[in-house]
Amino acid sequence: MKGTIKKAVALGAAIAMMGGLAACGTSSSSGTTELKFQTWNLKNDKFTSYFEDLIAQFEKDNPGVKIKWVDQPADNYEDKLSTDAAAGELPDVVDMGPEPAYTLAKAGVLLNLADAAPEAEKDFLPAAWSAATFKGTDLEEGTYGFPWYLNSGPTFYNKAVLSECGITVDPNNPPTKQDDIFAMADTFGKKCGGKYALTSGIPSIQDFGMYGVQLMNDDRTEFTFNNEKGVEFVQHYIDMYKAGAFTDDMLNSSTSGESKSFNGGSQAFMNGNAYSVDDIRKNAPKVFENLAITDFIANTKPNMFMEMLTVNATSKHQDLAIKFARFVTNSDNQLAFDKKANVFPSSTGTIDDDFFNPSDDTMDAEAMRMSADQIRNGEIWGPPQFTSACSTMLREEIAQALQGKITAKEALDATVKYCNERI
Partner 1 sequence: MATKAVMENKYNHYTPGKVVRIIVLLALLLFLAAPLLWQISLAFKGPKDDMYAAPYLIPVDPTVDNFVQVFKRLPILFYVGNTLIVAALNIGGNIISGCFAGYSLALLRFKGKGLVIGLLFLSMLVPGETILISQFLIIRNLDLQNNLIGVALPGLVSSMNILLFMNAFNAIPREMIEAAEVDGANIWQRFWRICVPQVKGTMALVGIFSFMGSWNDFLWPLIVLTDDSHYTLTLGMSRLQGTFVSDPRVVAAGTIVALIPIMIFFLVFQRYIFNGLEAGSVKE
Q: Point out which residues bind partner 1 (CB under 8 A).
A: 1, 3-4, 7-9, 11-13, 15-16, 19, 21-24, 40-46, 70-76, 79-80, 82-83, 86-87, 89, 260, 263-265, 273, 275, 278-279, 282-287, 341-343
In whole angstroms, give the CA distance from residue 325 to residue 93: 7
Nearer to partner 1, 19 or 31 (CB): 19
* Residue placing its CB nearer to partner 1 in the complex, 118 or 389: 389
Name the minimum Å distance from CB 116 to partner 1: 25
Q: Which is nearer to partner 1, 43 or 66 (CB)?
A: 43
CB of 263 to partner 1, least distance (A): 5
Q: Which is nearer to partner 1, 178 or 263 (CB)?
A: 263
CA distances from 257 to 202, 254, 326 (A): 11, 5, 36
Q: In whole angstroms, give the CA distance from residue 374 to residue 270.
A: 16
H and E: helices and strands count for the chain: 18, 11
- In order, the DSSP letters of 170-203 are -TTS---SHHHHHHHHHHHHHHHTTT-BSS-SS-
Are 153 and 369 in contact by the 8 Å Cβ rule? The answer is no
Quote the DSSP letter at residue 20. T
Is 109 in contact with 85 (CB distance < 8 Å)? Answer: yes
* Alpha-carbon 408 to chain mean position: 26
Q: What number of CA atoms fall less than 13 Å from residue 92's CA on the CB side?
A: 22
**Closest distance of CB 312 from partner 1, Å:** 14
String of b and e for 345-375 (b: at least 16 CB within 10 Å)? bbbbebbeeeebeeeeeebbebbbbbbbbbb
**Cβ distance 146 to 116 under 8 Å?**
no
Q: How far is the CB of 279 from partner 1 (least distance, A)?
A: 5
Give the shortest CB-173-to-partner 1 separation in angstroms. Answer: 29
Rounded CA-CA distance 44/27 in Å is 26
Identity of the amino acid at 122? K
201/203 with CB nearer partner 1: 201
Three-class DSSP labels, 60-72: HHCCCEEEEEEEE
Name which of 240 and 280 has its Cβ closer to partner 1. Answer: 280
Which has the closest alpha carbon to 305: 27, 40, 10, 50?
40
Q: Sign (positive/negative) of CA torsion 352, 355, 361, 365?
A: negative
- For the CB of residue 59, give the shortest distance to partner 1 in the complex, in Å: 18
The CB-of-142 to partner 1 minimum distance in angstroms stands at: 26
- How many residues in the chain? 423
DSSP 22: P
Smaller CB distance to partner 1: residue 44 or 168? 44
* Least gap, CB of 271 to partner 1 (angstroms): 15
Judged by beta carbon, residue 11 or residue 56, the one nearer partner 1 is 11
Q: What is the nearest approach in angstroms of partner 1 to the Cβ of residue 83?
A: 5
Residue 87 or 119: the one with the smaller Cβ distance to partner 1 is 87
- Minimum Å gap between C-beta 192 and partner 1 is 17
Cβ closest to partner 1, residue 160 vs residue 406: 160
Spatial contact of 52 and 108, defined as CB atoms under 8 Å apart: no
- Residue whose CB is less far from partner 1, 72 or 206: 72
In the bound complex, what is the minimum distance in angstroms from residue 46's beta carbon to partner 1?
7
